Amino acid sequence: MAHFGVLGPLAVEGPPGHWVALRGERQRTLLAVLLLNAGRPVPADVLVEALWPAGPPKSATSNLHTYLSRLRERIDGLRVEHGPLGYRLQVEPAELDLLGFRAAVAEGRQAADPVAAAEHYRRALALWRGPVLAGLHVPRLEADVARLESERLAVFEDCVDAELAAGRHGELTGELQAMIAEHPLRERPAAQLMTALHRAGQQGSALEVYRRLRTTLIEELGVEPGAEARRVHAAVLRGEDPVPRLPPPVWPVCQLPPDIGDFTGRDAELAELTAVLGAGGGVPVAVLSGEPGAGKSTLAVRAAHRLRGQFPDGQLYVPLAGRDIGEVLADLLRALGVPGPAVPDDARARAAVFRGRLSDRRVLVVLDDAADPGHVRALLPGTPGCAVLVTSRRRLSGLAGAHRLALGPLSGADAAELLDRLAGARVARERADAERIVTACARLPLALRIAGSRLAIRPHLRLGELADRLEDEVRRLDELTVSDLAVRSSIALSYEGLRPPARRAFRLLGRCQLADLPAWAVTTLVGDPDADEAVEELVEASLLEARGPDPTGEGRYRMHDLVRLYAAELPEPSSAEGVRTVLAATLALADAAAARLPRTVPMPSPAHEPPAQPLPASLVERLLARPDDWFAAERANLVLLIGTLGARDALLLLDRLGVYLYLHGQYADMRAAYETVLAAADPPVATVAEATLTLLRHARGEYEEAALRYRACAKELEAHGDRRTHAWVSANLAHCLIGLGRAEEALQTAAHARELFTVDGSAAELGWVRAAESAALLRLGRVSDAREVDRTALAAARSTGDARVIGEALHGYAWSSLLTGDDPGAAAAIAESVTLLRGTKARSALAKSLRTLGAISAATGARAEATAAFEEARSLARELDERPRELSCTRALAAAWIGEGRAAQAIPVLRACLDEYGELGSRPAAGLTWLVLHRAYEAAGDPESAEKAAAEAASLADPRDASAAALRRALLALTEPPIRRAAPPGPA
C-alpha cells in the first residue's frame, strides 16, 4: 500500500522507507490534482487545464491516458477510477496525510477534554512538512492550496485555545510569536499570546502585543482590533486571566519538566515505551539508552507526559548525573511528604522508606542520566502499580529484567521536520541546503536543535552558508554550539567515563575513516589482548554501535559521524599500526574478491601486482567464500577509501569494486565513484575514468553523447600510448554506433579495435569485437559474413570452457542462424545460451539472451515462450537500469497485446517508447516501433493514424538491415491473433 503526502513537498512512499520518484512535472501535477481531490471525481477538462495551463495540445486526451498509465506503473496499487463525472483517486485516511490531518482535527473538535483535544490537534499539525505541494507550481491548484493553508492556521489556533484551557501556557509563547511574525494581521493568535504572557507574569509584554496589533491594523487596514482582542486586552489591564483554566491537579506530586512543543518523530519508540510501562503487572522498568545527543531525556519526558493518566498518584523526575544516591533519596522523600527530621541518615534506610511511601500507589519514576545499575536498583519501587523509566548513556546491561530500547538518529523525514520547526519557513525554500545540514548533523536531535537555533537567532544566515561550515569536518563540532548546548561537551561526558583501554580503542577507531567496521577490523585496529573488553565497554557506553552479522557472517561496528569527529580530535595513540594493517588487508581482500567474480565490464583491468595479505588465510577464505556477499558488506567502505587514496591507487581499487558493481547493474554507485577519481586524476588516469563513465552512459542508452565521449577518449588514449584501453574503447564505440544505426562506421571501428588488440587477445576481448562486427554486418545485409564471424567466435569461446563466454558467443550465433534461415539451429543455440548464463552471475548477458530467445521464439511460432522470455528479460533490464533493453522488451510485449485484442492498451505504451527512442537517437528501434504502432492502429480501427505510422516506419527503414528484418518478422508475428488448435472430435 502506497502512502502519499501533499502537506509539504509531494511525496509517494511505496514500501516503508522507499520513496517513489516521479518522472516529469506533468506526472507530479496529475497526481497532485487527484490527491487534493481524493475521493471526489475530477473532470477530465480540469485535469487537462492543470497539465497544460497555457493551452492543451491536440493529443491532450491521449496524453492524459498515457500519464495515468505511467502513474499506475510507477505506484504499485494506485486506485484511480474513471466514471462519467471524471477520474476519482481512492485512498484511505492512513494513506494520505491530508485525510489523516482532517480526521485528527475532527477527533479534536469532538473531544470534551481540552487536554485530549490539544493532543489530537498536535497530531494533525505534526503531519505538515512545509507548504502544500512545496516546489510544485500548478496555477489550477492555487486556490486549493490557499484554502488548506487557512485551514492549518485555524487548526493551530484551535489547538492553542485547547492548551490554554488546559493551563499549558509556558510552552506556547515562542510558537505564537513566530505565528504573529508570519501573519501580523491575525487577531486570534495575538489575543492568545496576550493570555500566555499574562499568565507567565509578563503583563507589560502582553500589553505591548496589543499595542503592536492595533498599530498594524490601523496602518494596514484602517480598522481597530475586534471584540475578542479588546476583551483580552481589558482583562489583562484588570489583572484577570482572560481564559478559564482547568482546576489544578489533585495528584500528590508531579515533577516532570515541561514537554517541548517542537518534539518531532519517535512515534515507534513512544509507542514501545508507553506499551511497556503501561502494561501493568509487577514493576516494569524500561532503559532508554543511546549515543550522546540522541534525545534520550526529551523522549523520556514526552513518554512520561503521555503516561500521566495511567499513573494518577504522581510522576517523579530524578536527575542523577553526578549526584550522590543518598542525596537523591533525601530529596525524593521530602517531595513525598517525609519531614526533614524523619529522613534516615543511611542510604539503604532511605531507600526502604522510599519504597514504603510508594506502596499501593500508581507512580511513574523517571530516572534521567543514570550511570550505574546499582543507583537504579536503589530507586526501584517495591510493589506493583508503579513503573520506572531510565535514561542512560550506557546500556545498563547489569540491570536484570529491564526492557531496553536503544535510541538512534532520527529518520531523514523527522530530522528535516525538526529543522523546519526550529528554523522556520526558509527551510522549505532552501530544501537542498537543509538536507545538507541534516546530513552533517548526523540526524541527531541535539545537533539539529543547535543548528536550528543558530538559524532562528540569525535570520540573515543562509542555510547554504551554515551547511558549508558544517561540512568542514575540522570545524563541525565548533559550529554545533549555541548558548549552553554543545555536541562536543555531550560526547565528552561519555568519553570521560571510560577506562584507559577503552579510551585508547576509542581514539584508534576515530582515526579510521570507514563507514562501519567488521569485527576482524576492530580487533586488528585495537591490536591489544584486551581488545574485546575495550570494545564491549564502548558499546555499553553508546559510543560504538554493535550491529548484527553482515552477509559474510562477520559482526559489524559503527561509530556515528559526530562521535567519530570527536574521537579524531583527541591525541593520537602512541601506535597506529593497526590502521595501516586494516587498510592493507581491505585492499588485498578487494583484489582477491574481484578475481573470484566474472569480469563483465567491457574495459581492461589495470596491470598490477597482487597486494600482500596480512590476514590469516583461514579468515580470508571465510570472508571471501561468497565474494558477492563480501562486496555487498564492504561497498560503502570501499567507496569512502577511494576518496582518500591517490588517483592511481583509487583507480585500481575502483576497478576491483567495479567488477561487482557492473555485474549487478549498480551503475549509480559506479558512476559516483569514477567521478570522484576523475576530479582528482591527472590526464592518463582521468582518461580511463572518463572512458568508464562513458560506458555507463552507453549502458543507459545515451548513445549520441556516449559516441562523442568515446571518440575523445580514444584520441587521448592513443596519445598516451595505452593501446589496450584504446582497443576496448573502440570496441565499445562500435557497439554504440550500431545502436545509432551507423552500421558502416561501426564495422570500420570494430576492425580498428581488432587491430589494436594484441595477437594473443583473450576470447572475451575478441568475442566482444566480433559481436560488434557481426551486428554491423547484419545491419548491412551481409548475413553469411556475419554467420562466419559468429561461428569463429563460438569456436574460440568453447575452447575456453568459460560458461559466460560461451553463452555470450552462442547468443550471436543464434541470431545469425535465424537470419540465414536455420530456425532449428537458432532455437537450439539460444536455448543453450540462456541455460549456460543462468548458471553464471552475468545478469546483463542473461537479459540480452532472454530478449533474443523471445524474438526467435516469436519468429518461429512459439508465442507463449516468446512472451515469457520478454517478460523475464524486461524485469532483469529494469533491475539493471538498462533502459534500451527494457524498452525493446516492452515494445515486444505491446505487440503481443495487439494479437490478444488489447490494441488500445498497447498504443499509449508504444507512443511512450517512441518518445524515449527519439531521445536516445536510435533510428532502427524507432522504425520498428512505428511498424508495431501501425498494426495497433489498424487493430483499433484508426486507419488514418495507421497510415501515418506506416509512413514513418518506411522512412526509417534500411532495406539492407537483416537484423531489423528478423525483428520485424518476430514483432509482426506477435501482433497476429494466437492460433487456436481445434479440439479433437468426441466419441461417436
User: pLDDT tens, 740-789?
Assistant: 889 899 999 988 988 888 655 576 778 888 888 888 998 888 989 999 99
From residue 324, give the alpha-carbon distance in Å to each of 257, 328, 848.
Answer: 21, 6, 72
- For the chain, helix, strand, coil in percent to 5 are 65, 5, 30
The pLDDT, as a whole number, for residue 703 is: 86
Q: Is the per-residue pLDDT at 1 higher than 70?
A: no
User: pLDDT tens, 427-477?
Assistant: 888 888 888 888 888 888 888 888 888 888 888 888 888 888 888 878 888
Reported confidence tier of residue 874, pLDDT bands at 50, 70, 90: very high
Q: Is the per-residue pLDDT at 245 higher than 70?
A: no
The pLDDT, as a whole number, for residue 947 is: 93
Q: Is the per-residue pLDDT at 36 higher than 60?
A: yes
Q: What is the mean pLDDT of residues 589-617?
A: 89
User: pLDDT tens, 66-81?
Assistant: 888 888 888 887 888 8
Question: What are the DSSP E strand ranges found in 550-681?
Answer: 556-558
The pLDDT, as a whole number, for residue 645 is: 86
* Selection from 763, 762, 761, 787 nearest residue 775 by Cα: 787
The pLDDT, as a whole number, for residue 247 is: 41
CA distance 44 to 50: 10
Residue pair 552/630 in contact (Cβ under 8 Å)? The answer is yes
Cα-Cα end-to-end distance for the chain: 55
Reported confidence tier of residue 252, pLDDT bands at 50, 70, 90: low
The pLDDT, as a whole number, for residue 741 is: 84
> What are the residues whose beta carbons fall under 8 Å from the beta carbon of 252, sequence distance 6 or more?
313, 314, 336, 337
Q: Is the per-residue pLDDT at 660 higher than 50?
A: yes
> What are the residues whose beta carbons fall under 8 Å from the beta carbon of 932, sequence distance 6 or more?
891, 894, 895, 898, 906, 910, 971, 972, 975
Q: Is the per-residue pLDDT at 576 higher than 70?
A: no
The pLDDT, as a whole number, for residue 457 is: 83
Reported confidence tier of residue 982, pLDDT bands at 50, 70, 90: very low
pTM across the whole model:
0.59
**DSSP notation for 577-597:** HHHHHHHHHHHHHHHHHHHTS
Q: Is the per-residue pLDDT at 330 higher than 50?
A: yes
Q: What is the mean pLDDT of residues 523-549?
A: 83
User: pLDDT tens, 678-718?
Assistant: 888 888 889 999 999 999 888 888 888 999 999 999 999 98
Q: Is the per-residue pLDDT at 983 higher than 50?
A: no
Containing 917, the helix (H) or strand (E) segment is helix 903-920
The mean-pLDDT minimum among 34-43, 333-342, 881-890 falls in 333-342
Q: What is the mean pLDDT of residues 888-917?
A: 93
Query: What is the pLDDT of the chain when averaged over all its residues?
Result: 86
CA distance 278 to 348: 28
Q: Is the per-residue pLDDT at 917 higher than 90?
A: no
The pLDDT, as a whole number, for residue 921 is: 79
Q: Give me the helix-helix angle, 883-899 and 903-920, nearest 10°.
A: 160
Higher pLDDT, 940 or 979: 940
Q: What is the mean pLDDT of residues 569-594?
A: 84
Q: What is the mean pLDDT of residues 359-379?
A: 87
**Other Cβ atoms closer than 10 A to 476:** 21
The pLDDT, as a whole number, for residue 986 is: 45
Helices (H), ranges, 166-295: 173-182, 187-199, 203-221, 227-238, 267-277
Cell numbers at residue 165, please? 484551557
The mean-pLDDT minimum among 12-21, 316-325, 465-474, 925-934 falls in 12-21
Q: What angle do CA 60, 61, 63 make, to 5 degrees?
A: 65
From residue 941, give the alpha-carbon distance in Å to each of 64, 174, 791, 968.
Answer: 21, 67, 46, 22
Given the DSSP bridges, would you call strands 485-486 and 285-290 parallel, antiparallel or unpaired? Answer: unpaired
* Selection from 591, 577, 602, 687 nearest residue 638 by Cα: 591
Q: What angle do CA 611, 658, 724 make, to 5 degrees?
A: 80
Cell numbers at residue 198, please? 499574562
Q: What is the mean pLDDT of residues 491-496?
A: 84
